[in-house]
Chains A and B, each alone.
Chain A
Amino acid sequence: MQVRKIMCACGSGLGSSLMVEMNIQDVLKKMGVEGVEVVHSTTSDVHPGAADLFVVGRDLADFIKDVDKDEIIVLQNIVDKGELEEKLRAKLEA
């Protein structure tokens, strides 16, 4: 799928979503993907259309149900870069 903007979200949009954003940027760099904007915010800001792909930890999956399931990545472990890369590849290269 065509992804231009990825949004990571957490409860107050300050700490863990920023961690995930930094990890995504590392992974994208490793994958050689360019031109994707990565942002982080609170789950209140997650709406369909706010980004092409949304990334949350599994404890927050229920918060963003109004977004199309294809546009969501749910991480079992939000600090695991391996899991992140696998799931990002599945989305970006699909």
Chain B
Amino acid sequence: MQAVLDFFVNILSTPAILVGLLALLGLALQGKPIEDIVSGTIKTIVGFLVLNAGSAFLQSGSLNAFGEVFNYAFNMQGVVPNNEAVVSMALNDFGQASALIMCVGMILNIVLARFSRMPYIFLTGHHTLYMACMLAVVLSIGGLEGWTLYVAGGCLLGLIMVLSPAYCQPTFRKVTRSNDIAFGHFGGIGYAFAGWIGHFFKGGKSTEDVNFPKRLIFLRDTTVSISITMMVIFIIVTGVAVGRGILAEDPTQFSYLNELLNVGTETKTNWLVWSFTSGMSFAGGVYIILSGVRLIVGEIVPAFKGIAEKLVPGAKPAIDCPVCFPYAPNAVIIGFLVSFVAGVVGLIILTLIDASLFPVALILPGVVPHFFCGATAGVFGNAEGGLKGCIAGAFAHGLLITFLPAICMPVFTNLGFTSATFSDADFSWLGIVFGNLAQAVPGWPLFAICVVCFLLPIIYNVVAPKPKAKE
């Protein structure tokens, strides 16, 4: 009997199988034929295993070495803002909690869509997974574990899944000129901020009235853009380290630099070549992780959408950020460039703070967050305030996604995530607020706060007077 029980406990504590069961549940609830259920479940499980493989490769091929080289070169911590990197590491320890929080969160999203005044169904599945993982990490700092962790995390996840589209909707409506779809991407507070900054420039001419070269759009391919940035960053950092004499150092003081220092290898590797391959290995690792995430999300999201549509008639689907790109292609490019420049400016400011005031983590400008989030901020800024709004909004946003992760970083450093962090704004603000709450009021008070946060929009809907019908 005990053996059977252990077997089931073991199944439920194996994250890959757990997400598989989640997909199985979703597919079965939709009444899919048995062959679809089998293939969907298997693909989800394989997806999770692929994600683990990508994570291992990302760390062994690139990220671990990067941390050591950066530390040697600058004597401080350099952080790459990349969701995939940090999530894949965190899933090693928090896989089970993440999967269950994701499940509870999606159910509570449907509850909130039905019973609050934010009728949004959040369909950007990879962000749901990343956010579940972030909440698992943050809330576990506050001593929550087991079902309290799943419920508290699920409450917050369900809340942010409607709250983020809600604060984007006023501007997103102006982007799409309709109110039928909503915007679901956990950079939400950054875009709302960009839109708010943009509205000070109301009435200017739109980005789409100017001629702007479109060739930079190739950076939208994540493999290409990650390769380029990480190569450049690796070359700069390794170059400085080589200049300071890293090649002559005793290799035993490093754990991950055998290849660079030619320990136990037949052929000598030039540091430049090493920088190229390490930079591209980062992109390769993210590519593998994304393939895994695609397999997981590809089964779960359609099931979620199908169920949600049945339970909440009239719900608005909240969709991933590129949905707004075709509305303002110029704002996409301008937003990216300006946001990236702001990221560099932010890095310089962080360096100055680190040197003169107190130690902070240096958030390196990553092309992926600046592209996707910066571009979206540009589109939001443009919708409110034209070209000037686009530039101002994207710049403010670029600073925001550099400073917020820096403020959030101590929360993660405690748990050993030192060289990568979440990039997008919603992850950061939730991480900051609940990371600090978790340390200030651990245990049951933290649990209670999470549940109350979830209930507030529903209570508001019941208690507050109904607004007069407009729209």
Contact = CB atoms under 8 A, between A and B. Distances in A.
Contacts of B123: 15, 18-19
Contact of A57 (B298, B302, B325, B368): B325
B302 A22 contact: yes
Contacts of A48: none
A50 B290 CA distance: 19
Given A14-B126, A42-B223, A44-B223, A19 B323 contact: yes
Contacts of A11: 220-222, 322, 372
A18 B125 contact: yes
Interface string A53-85: 000011110110000000000001111000000
A40 B221 contact: no
B323 A76 contact: no
A59 B329 contact: yes
A26 to B, nearest CB: 10
B322 A16 contact: yes
A18 B298 contact: yes
Interface string B311-348: 00000010111110110010010000000000000000
B326 A59 contact: yes
Contact of B326 (A14, A18, A44, A77): A77
B124 A41 contact: no
A69 to B, nearest CB: 19
A89 to B, nearest CB: 22
Contacts of A44: 221, 223-224, 287
Interface in B354-368: 368
B309 to A, nearest CB: 11
B47 to A, nearest CB: 12
A57 B220 CA distance: 13
B323 A40 contact: no
Interface string A23-50: 0010000000000000011111000000
Contact of B323 (A16, A58, A60): A16
A79 B323 contact: yes
B320 A58 contact: no
B298 A42 contact: no
Most buried by B among A13, A18, A44, A62: A18
Contact of A14 (B214, B223, B224, B293): B293
A79 B317 CA distance: 10
B290 A42 contact: yes
Contacts of A58: 326
A78 to B, nearest CB: 6
Nearest to A76: B326
B51 to A, nearest CB: 12
Most buried by A among B217, B218, B322: B322
A12 B290 contact: yes
A15 B319 contact: yes
B294 A60 contact: no
B26 to A, nearest CB: 13
Given A18-B301, A62-B217, A41 B323 contact: no
Given A13-B294, A14-B297, A60-B220, A78 B302 contact: no
A10 interface: yes
Nearest to B180: A79
Contacts of B329: 59
19 contacts: A10-B320, A14-B294, A14-B320, A15-B127, A18-B123, A18-B125, A18-B297, A18-B298, A19-B323, A21-B298, A22-B302, A44-B221, A44-B223, A44-B224, A44-B287, A59-B217, A59-B322, A59-B332, A60-B220
Interface of B: 123-127, 181, 185, 214, 217-218, 220-224, 287, 290, 293-294, 297-298, 301-302, 305, 317, 319-323, 325-326, 329, 332, 368, 372
Given A16-B322, A18-B125, A59-B332, 17 more contacts: A10-B322, A11-B221, A11-B222, A11-B322, A12-B372, A14-B290, A15-B319, A15-B321, A15-B322, A18-B123, A19-B320, A44-B287, A59-B322, A59-B325, A59-B326, A59-B329, A62-B217
